[in-house]
Structure 1
Amino acid sequence: MALSVSCFAVVWVSLLLLFLGRLVDSEPTADKQALLGFLSGVLHSNRIQWNQSVSACNWVGVLCDDNSSYVYSLRLPGVGLVGQIHSNTLGRLTQLRVLSLRSNRLSGELPSDFSQLKLLRSLYLQDNRFAGEFPSSLTRLTRLTRLDLSFNNFTGQIPFSVNNLTHLTGLFLQNNGFSGNLPSINPSGLVDFNVSNNNLNGSIPQTLSKFPASSFTGNINLCGAPLKACNPFFPSPAPSPSNPPETPQKSSKKLSKAAIIAISVGAGIIVLLLLLILLLCLRRRNRRQAAKEPKPGTRSVVAEAGTSSSKDDIPGGSAASERNKLVFFDGGIYSFDLEDLLRASAEVLGKGSMGTSYKAVLEEGTTVVVKRLKDVAVTKKEFELLMEVVGKIKHDNVVSLRAFYYSKDEKLLVSDFMPNGSLSSLLHGSRGSGRTPLDWDHRMKIALGAGRGLAHLHVSGKMVHGNIKASNILLKTDLDAAVSDFGLNPLYGTSTPPNRVAGYRAPEVVETRKVTLKSDMYSFGVLLLELLTGKAPNQASIGEEGIDLPRWVQSVVREEWTAEVFDVELLRYHNIEEEMVQLLQIAMACVSTVPDQRPDITQVVRMMEDINRPDTDDGIRQSSDDPSKGSDGQTPPQESGTPTTAVTP
């Protein structure tokens, strides 16, 4: 008996010593090979002495976890690294949290397998010679908090997919060669931002205007707050360089008195002839204008402004005065002319596929929205006929078109100003600590308002909207929704660009470029998913690259709890899970890939109205002070009030 106990003790002690020995000699073998592969692929100075006979955790610049099982930090700043980082080296350090290679002479493009560094939080690559476009692999590192690519040779556009990096607090892209428009970058915790000294152009998005001017200097074609204001409506053409007047050569001989008198008499005759010709032209033009005046009693559906006598003296005749006319619709509430509009202070509200919208404040205090259309492909007659149809659309949930202007170079639309902006800015604006979340009942109110406005267009107006998206859903003071920018697709004919309403396009529109009532329903379904998820459909923050919002929702519903779909801001509200699931089912029916399987807008509005509403007096639920309350993260059971349309993968 004693012998067996002694044998057991010996075995136990041996196993313990063996275990302790393995702890002492623990080695991140795979990470060590990745580091050696990286170092062998670049030139380096003698400052890096990585001895293969010792643990990689003891190498210069390398830090491992407490058990020495993986490398979590690699810091090699200013150690003379030269050359390109090869694939299958640093990309294999899948547990890496910090990577600093700043102030070296590394060049080329970043390897695509950097996308495997899913746990990376800080990446410092500044002061190198990296080139190529913005590395798409970095936009998949969703845990990044600090990203510094400054002082390199990167080119191309800064992608909107930077918004994938939702934990980002610092983004430094200065002193590169980035070009194109600056996207609306808006991670909620972003506090440090710099894109100075690049080749960016266009206006600075409102989401970035909070940063100082030093963050944008050195981009000569960039404008908007905090830099100088962008030029609204009619940008003045750049002055053409004029040739300096030639210095007259001194004549070797003086003119005689007779020559001087003859020249003076000739000049006087020429002046008299020019005056006579000018008077004849003015009389002829006045006769033409008198003949074109409408006869008394003739009914006119437009009011024309800006035809004062001073404008009649503009050279160019009737064509010039025609350029000074706004066309107002009957029953309008405004009274101003084009000159008043051009004198107004203007602020850029947004740029879309059809043109740029401005907030214009006239001298008497009236505020309107002016949309400056671009790439219009129809004649003046066709333009006016379409405006007459669009101008007749009147509904509480539709933004009324008040006036329009057409000339060869400019096409303007004038509509009411909505003080609460668009659904896009309210839903995807800054999500920092000072943000007031958009609660569920207001989201339902917006969905219903937008649906009723679209129903009026489809049924009463017999009109296809053609460009449904969150930025075209404007909000009144009570957050009731109004649909804007409707019925304008015919202005572009067959030249409608394929990227119009990207993220909201129905599958069939991608091929045919023709919008229909059914394609409107697909776009409206995407809009409902946007309200439910809090995710913008035109950004790649919803999983794998290239996946759209409907497919992402389908994959989550199929593989996980349906509750994972919903916006985290809705978790603080009680007893709304059933309503959210019902609206989700309606949305998924709208985004069916088969057009004939999509419901009509009148059916959708009826189903939304049938969703069980709260019993509170004002219809608005109160939120919990604790955001962790209000949802158990599971899909609630469906009851009889749920629409029959099922969420199918």
Structure 2
Amino acid sequence: MISISISISISLAILLLLNPTASEQDHVKLSLINFLQKLSGNDTGITEKLSWNTSTDPCSGNWTGISCNNKNKSIRGITLEGLLLNGSIDATLACTAPTLAVLSLRDNLLHGQLPLEISSCSQLTHLFLSGNRLSGELPLEISELNNLKRLDISNNNFSGDIPSGLTTISGLVSFLAEDNQFTGSIPVFDFNNFQQFNISNNLFSGRIPPDAAQFGNESFSGNSGLCGLPLAVACAPAASPDVPNKPNESSPSTERTIMYLGYILLGATIFLFFLYKLIQKRKKMKKSEINLGSQNDDVSVPISKNNSNSNENKSNEYSTSSTDSPVISSSLVVLKSPVKRSMKFDDLLKCPAELLGKGKHGNVYKVMAVDGSVLVVRRIKEWMISSEEFHKRMEMINKARHKNVLPLVAFYCSKQEKLVVYEFQLNGSLLNLIHGSQFGRTFDWSSRLNMAAGIAEGMSFVHRELQTHGIGHGNLKSSNIIMNNTMDPCISELGLMTTDQTKPTISTTNNSTTMNNNVFKKDVYDLGIILLELLTGKLVQNNGADLAKWVNSVVREEWTVEVFDKALVAEGASEERMVHLLSDCTQVC
């Protein structure tokens, strides 16, 4: 069998010699074919099985297990997993591909050592060797892989100490070495940068570094010599040299008394500190639960005066007409489908209000009505828009009803400020769902897709119905996407544009209307940022610019999978569908 392998190699070399235009790429192809031969234990049929031959290009010739850079057609990855390869690794041959970044040989039968020549793969970022029969010590040269991000050598027979030089690789975020025979102490990595770490079922000994405790008991179990958190095995106190007692040294009982007094004083201090904080917190809560009207001294409730000499409008100012128009008082406008038809503005002012959030252009309050119903009141300050225009805008928004748009309850307008009233929703916002408490709910890939579809449908409807009126959202973000009682997304604060947003310019050409309005463009961009937030699970800062910049930089490096939320990856969500959605996002962000 060895002679057959040698014959194949010689034949391939002759073919290259007979081709006067042979390039370095031909040399790389021949090296990779020989690399595969050694991995397979000189299986003569493996190259044909995987379609590796010098007559085709690895990037366009369907070489199984080869991935390439789409721009310059250079080899980026070799993935040969679960093929029962029972040979050894020749890193010199593999590293002839100068841009090789991923080498994955998981779940085979490879034996022997990891060669020190692995350091020649200077661009390597992902090295996956788990589930083989590799043995011996890790070469010190592995520490020279300065671009390495993920190293998985679990389920092998490696032994000896972990090279301390691995701790100098600043970009390393994943180290999996469970189920081996490693000995010695745990190297002190920068564990705060790690996403994955597991050394269970080895022969490690000594104290677990404090920062490593975050990875849980399962990452360290099976090492009888380890101690310290998160394991239940306490470390023995460090031995101190014997020091003879000084003549005036305090007796053990005196020392113990002083120590106990110190503990008591420390405990009393901590107790008083927390008591002080509790009192301060209660004072703040009382201040926040203030009457909404008391914060708004410049808002008065105009009283409607009927002309005694006129018979017009003798009905109650809150009565409902038979038309579809809203019910209008001299102050509060209550729309047709709210929770409170008989609500009056002075009643609203008397309700206790809890401050939910502060913003540049106003605050948001949770208001408890007299009958126990709960409302949300959004105060808008310094919006230079006339009362008539504000009324028209709110009525147009009220008519644009959609299941994914939070309906208005009422609104108020004065010269100084404006109020918009919604029904309070118990399930919180999309921001809380992604980053905060989920109340036991699993925010899986299917739920995120449904969320994205609902938001997109709502915004599409808004732009379709209100674009001719120049009404967009202008401030679309995950905190403004509210979950209703069926956990469907509802867009809130629609049309509450800020002062730096301009009116739309409408031009008609060939019976088509063209929008020239930054608000609508911003809505599209903001929707893209929300989709990125759903995909990455990262907080949005700087109006989403930082998130978009980071995602685009990772995508340019062709490590798209790195951007996705770890919860989605662990769930096994469809990478193809996530990449497709990510591609749509990056086109608008």
**TM (normalized to structure 1)?**
0.41
